[in-house]
Amino acid sequence: MKLDKILAKRKASDAANAGFWAGLFTGILEVVFSLTVVIINKELLLKEFAEVKNRYGPLIPYDTNTLYLLTLVTTPFAIILLYLIVGILFGIIFDKIKGKPGIKALILSLLFGVGFGLTTNLPVSRISIMVFNIFTWSLFAFVFLMLYQKQRYKEKEVVRNEKNRPLFVFLVVLFGLSFGLAFLCKYFGIKLISLAPVYMFMPFVATLLTMYIYKISFRSLGVSLKLNKWYLVAWLLPGFLALVSLGVSLLLPGTSYSASLEGLSRYHISSHVNTPLPPLLYFLILALIAGPTINAIFAFGEEIGWRGFLYQETRYLGFWKYSFLVGIIWGIWHAPLIIQGYNYPQHPIVGVFFMVIFCIAISPIFSYIRMKSKSVIAAAIMHGSLNAFAGIPIAFAKGSDLIVGLQGLSGFIVLIVIDFWLLVKADF
């Protein structure tokens, strides 16, 4: 009986601990969203502060600019503290409810998301606040489950001598070459986007140099052409994701279907298509052809680093930790391109953050394909197909680049649903 009580306390502690760290992660997301809204709507907030100051007079000893600055400074601390407390509360409630962990976490995250959506006040529409909070709490549930299950079922870690040295060298070479190229382009007035195909091979160069230094064989990175059904999944899955994200985009506020391809205007691409086929069918056929061919060749330049070298060097961490780590590296590596308008031409600065979230969200799917296919070639085919199909929801949905497409909020929703499925159903 005493042992049962000890185990019950340990289980409750695991849930609360997972809630704490998931709360910290979610709080940071909420801080970024809130500060973005506060900065974008500065003039509106200054007017509201002026009205408050006129109403309460001497009770507020600060001018409107000082009040705005105080808002910027205090908001992050208040939000993170709130989410830490609520995260622990989430863990406690989670532990008290009976049922499957995935179902419990999903239901609680929806309830918390709706609750925060109804009570959060920002100078944007209530629907936008609600959608963001539901999305944020879905991410919370995903991180919570990942941490909780990791604590409850700890895997034996593989002990490797000098395990961090090749990884460190790879990262130094990767970011040194990539960001160095971005700096040179800036210095000489060259658009980095025009050199995107060259930039995509920086992970390949970093991998080759690291392999040479540490005598790592190319075959150990999963370069194999032994075909299996997962190659087909890698080819077709991105198309499914793109079409579903298009459907989700049209359900969100501020977006509409555009048969005339108006969405391409955001990227300064002509919407004129000279073909007798329906435009959507035409783009699907092009993507199906380009994805596993020319696109996959350039995508291999990245994937040999992400799902080749990094997979080999960090998979001892476990599926979810490896996927999360690669997602962060992958997303940050895109920063110089994103800042110049790649993927998020309307929001190049906020787009950096969104790209990191996108890479984190899709990384487990890539990892799963890599693991099942036992080949980095399959990952390259999926990456190439993803790049080919990603333009479809952008072209046919008119709206903000932070909402439309796989790299927008609609895509995040689709990817998180699949990540949840992997978390609950997949056996790693």
Average pLDDT over residues 364-392: 95
pLDDT per residue as tens digits for the range 156-190: 443 344 455 889 899 999 999 899 989 888 878 88
Please give the pLDDT value at position 324: 92
Q: Describe the chain by its helix, strand, coil percentages, rounded to 5.
A: 80, 0, 20
For residues 145 and 105, what is the distance between their CA atoms, to the nearest angstrom? 7
Which has the closest alpha carbon to 201: 366, 380, 373? 380
Which has the closest alpha carbon to 223: 148, 308, 287? 308
Q: What is the pTM (predicted TM-score) of this model?
A: 0.68
CB 286 within 8 A of CB 388: yes
**Token pair 């992050």 in the structure block, residue:** 76
Which tokens go with 189?
């007035």
For residues 428 and 419, what is the distance between their CA atoms, to the nearest angstrom? 13
Assess whether pLDDT exceeds 70 at residue 232: yes
Query: How would residue 308 be classed by pLDDT, with cut points 50, 70 and 90?
Result: very high
> What is the C-alpha end-to-end distance of the chain, expressed in Å?
33
Rounded to whole angstroms, what are the CA distances from 6 to 13, 101, 153?
A: 10, 20, 17
Q: Is 179 helix (H, G, I), strand (E, B) or coil?
A: helix
Q: What is the phi/psi pair of residue 89, to 5°?
A: -60, -40
Query: How would residue 414 be classed by pLDDT, with cut points 50, 70 and 90?
Result: very high
For residues 148 and 363, what is the distance between their CA atoms, to the nearest angstrom? 20
What proportion of the chain, given as a percentage, has pLDDT over 70? Answer: 88
For residues 84 and 123, what is the distance between their CA atoms, to the nearest angstrom? 24
Q: Is 257 helix (H, G, I), strand (E, B) or coil?
A: strand
Please give the pLDDT value at position 322: 93
Query: How would residue 6 be classed by pLDDT, with cut points 50, 70 and 90?
Result: very low
Query: How would residue 216 be classed by pLDDT, with cut points 50, 70 and 90?
Result: confident
For residues 410 and 403, what is the distance between their CA atoms, to the nearest angstrom? 6
Average pLDDT over residues 403-412: 91
CB 83 within 8 A of CB 34: no
pLDDT per residue as tens digits for the range 266-305: 665 656 667 788 888 988 999 999 999 999 999 999 999 9
For residues 15 and 108, what is the distance between their CA atoms, to the nearest angstrom? 13
CB 326 within 8 A of CB 306: yes
Calculate the average pLDDT of the chain: 83
Lowest mean pLDDT, pick from 179-183, 194-198, 263-267: 263-267
Please give the pLDDT value at position 270: 59
pLDDT per residue as tens digits for the range 97-133: 888 888 888 888 888 888 888 887 766 677 777 877 7
Please give the pLDDT value at position 110: 86
Please give the pLDDT value at position 269: 63
**Token pair 């709080």 in the structure block, residue:** 27
Which has the closest alpha carbon to 372: 313, 319, 306? 319
Cα 383 to chain centroid, rounded: 15
Contacts of 240 by beta carbon, 8 Å cutoff, 6+ apart: none
For residues 117 and 128, what is the distance between their CA atoms, to the nearest angstrom? 9
Of residues 159 and 142, the one with the higher pLDDT is 142
Of residues 157 and 61, the one with the higher pLDDT is 61
For residues 258 and 201, what is the distance between their CA atoms, to the nearest angstrom? 34
**Token pair 């990791």 in the structure block, residue:** 150
Assess whether pLDDT exceeds 90 at residue 55: no
Q: Is 405 left (phi over 0), alpha (psi -120 to 50) or beta?
A: left
